[in-house]
């Protein structure tokens, strides 16, 4: 059992407030991802959980116990860093067992006299062999780090954390040193490993795809705050604000200002060069919120824009079709990313490769209004 709770957690360095009062519950056995752009406070939050950074305010609880004043070694956590720095002169076996062989004692004596043996040789061997088995490193235990591939080294770093049999794993961008292919592979291995061990994990990344594929839940951070915490598809389908809407999903959601108007019994979002008709549910929301007659931000994801000629999923109608110029086409195989333009509005669409569209063409596109979003222009909160 290990539940981690952050209550109004803050961290101020001199003048910079890196974490501005975050509240988060990481459930027992959960794989929680903290994601957000560089500098938003992810590492700082993780280091506070680890005890490597003192909180300026708020509380950290591990299994109902406040651990703010508990030293890192007594929190029963293991952290895996981006720069995992294996000892180059030691074998895989020794790298993995090092932390078990020697543990620091609060004796006040200088290093290494303050180190003591805490596990028997047999226990250490059992744990290293078991971690080696889990991570597929059994045949490599006698090798030195320089004789391993990047992915194998990464697994040794994980092994070092696994042998400690912690209550909680904290991982700070542990895959960012790997090349793209290996990152995808190791990502899948980490998920399997988590399923097998069931250890509560907090995983930090700035990569939203990594977050979407790995997290049971994802906490999206920006500017020291958690913007939204939910299951991956909930974030994708129901982002709470413009930041989450444009951060989750790739390519990013297209957003542009529109005037919300009544028109012949319907409510339309008028972008100037074209207007789309809101769904009944959206219209109801706009009327109830008093947004008719005001400007809002309209959002549509690239994958919800179709070339009308080949659109089978969404029928073209009066309120969801408009024409655009094709500016750039980036073929990706099964589909293509098309940069579209009309007036001063630009958007990206992920269009099936069956589309005959060419650069310079003027084409009609259909958008799936059911999948479109509306945001308040000032607060940037989602309205629909």
Site string for ligand ATP, 35-74 (x = CB under 6 A): -x-xxxxxxx------------------------------
In whole angstroms, the minimum distance from the beta carbon of 172 to ligand ATP comes to 7
Compute the distance between CA of residue 319 and CA of residue 383 in angstroms, rounded to an integer: 20
Site for ligand ATP in 156-215 (CB under 6 A): 206
Q: Are 174 and 157 in contact (CB under 8 A)?
A: yes
Token pair in block for residue 8: 């109004």
Which of ligand ATP, Mg ion, none is residue 288 near (CB under 5 to 8 Å by kind)?
Answer: none
Q: Which two tokens stand for residue 298?
A: 């309209």
Q: Judged by CB under 5 A, does residue 282 bind Mg ion?
A: no
Binding of Mg ion by 320 (CB under 5 A): no
Cis peptide before 251 (omega within 30 of 0): yes
DSSP annotation string for 66-129: E-TTS-GGGS-EEEE-SS----TTS-HHHHHHHHHH-EE-TT-PPTTTTEE--S-HHHHHHHHH
Burial of 165 (0-12, 13-18, 19+ CB in 10 A): middle
Give the residue with the Cβ less far from Mg ion, 16 or 233.
16
Name the minimum Å distance from CB 269 to ligand ATP.
34
- 237 in Cβ contact with 248 (< 8 Å): no
Could you tell me the smallest distance in angstroms from the CB atom of residue 57 to ligand ATP? 15
**Using the 8-state DSSP alphabet, how is residue 303 labeled?**
G
C-beta of 172 vs 230, nearer to ligand ATP: 172
**CB-nearer residue toward ligand ATP: 187 or 373:** 187
Of 22, 26, 32, 43, the residue at the interface with Mg ion (CB under 5 A) is 43
Nearer to ligand ATP, 38 or 334 (CB): 38
- Residue 49: CB minimum distance to ligand ATP, A: 12
Q: Structure tokens of 355?
A: 């589309």
User: What region, left, alpha or beta, does residue 76 occupy, with left being phi > 0 and alpha being psi -120 to 50 degrees?
Assistant: left
Nearer to ligand ATP, 204 or 314 (CB): 204
Between 36 and 166, CB nearer to Mg ion? 36
* Residue 228 CA from chain centroid, whole number: 11
Residues that bind ligand ATP (CB under 6 A): 13, 16, 18, 36, 38-44, 206
By the criterion CB under 5 A, which residues form the site for Mg ion? Answer: 43
């Amino acid at each position: 059992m290990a539940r981690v709770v952050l209550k109004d957690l803050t961290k101020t360095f001199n003048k910079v407030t890196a974490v501005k009062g975050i509240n988060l519950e990481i459930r027992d056995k959960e794989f929680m991802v903290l994601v957000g752009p560089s500098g938003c406070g992810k590492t700082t939050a993780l280091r506070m959980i680890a005890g490597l950074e003192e909180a300026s305010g708020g509380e950290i609880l591990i299994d109902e116990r406040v651990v703010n004043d508990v030293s890192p070694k007594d929190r029963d956590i293991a952290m895996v860093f981006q720069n995992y720095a294996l000892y180059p002169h030691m074998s895989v076996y020794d790298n993995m067992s090092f932390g078990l062989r020697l543990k620091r004692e609060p004796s006040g004596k200088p290093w290494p006299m303050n180190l003591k043996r805490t596990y028997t040789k047999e226990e250490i061997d059992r744990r290293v062999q078991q971690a080696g088995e889990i991570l597929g490193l059994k045949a490599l235990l006698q090798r030195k780090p320089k004789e391993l591939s990047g992915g194998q080294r990464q697994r040794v770093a994980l092994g070092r954390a696994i042998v400690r049999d912690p209550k909680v794993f904290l991982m700070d961008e542990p895959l960012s040193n790997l090349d793209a292919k290996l990152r995808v592979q190791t990502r899948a291995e980490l998920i399997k490993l988590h399923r097998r061990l069931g250890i509560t994990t907090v995983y930090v990344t700035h990569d939203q795809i990594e977050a979407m594929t790995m997290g049971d839940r994802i906490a999206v951070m920006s500017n020291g705050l958690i913007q939204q915490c939910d299951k991956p598809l909930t974030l994708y389908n129901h982002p709470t604000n413009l930041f989450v809407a444009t951060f989750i999903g790739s390519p990013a959601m297209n957003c542009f200002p529109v005037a919300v108007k009544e028109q012949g019994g319907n409510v339309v979002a008028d972008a100037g060069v074209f207007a789309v008709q809101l769904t009944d549910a959206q219209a109801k929301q706009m009327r109830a919120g008093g947004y008719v007659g005001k400007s809002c931000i309209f959002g549509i994801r690239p994958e919800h824009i179709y070339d009308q000629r080949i659109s089978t999923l969404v029928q073209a109608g009066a309120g969801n079709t408009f024409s655009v110029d094709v500016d750039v086409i980036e073929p990706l195989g099964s589909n293509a990313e098309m940069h579209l333009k009309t007036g001063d509005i630009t958007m990206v669409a992920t269009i099936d490769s069956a589309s005959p569209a060419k650069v310079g063409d003027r084409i009609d596109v259909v958008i799936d209004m059911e999948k479109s979003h509306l945001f308040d222009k000032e607060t940037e909160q989602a309205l629909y």
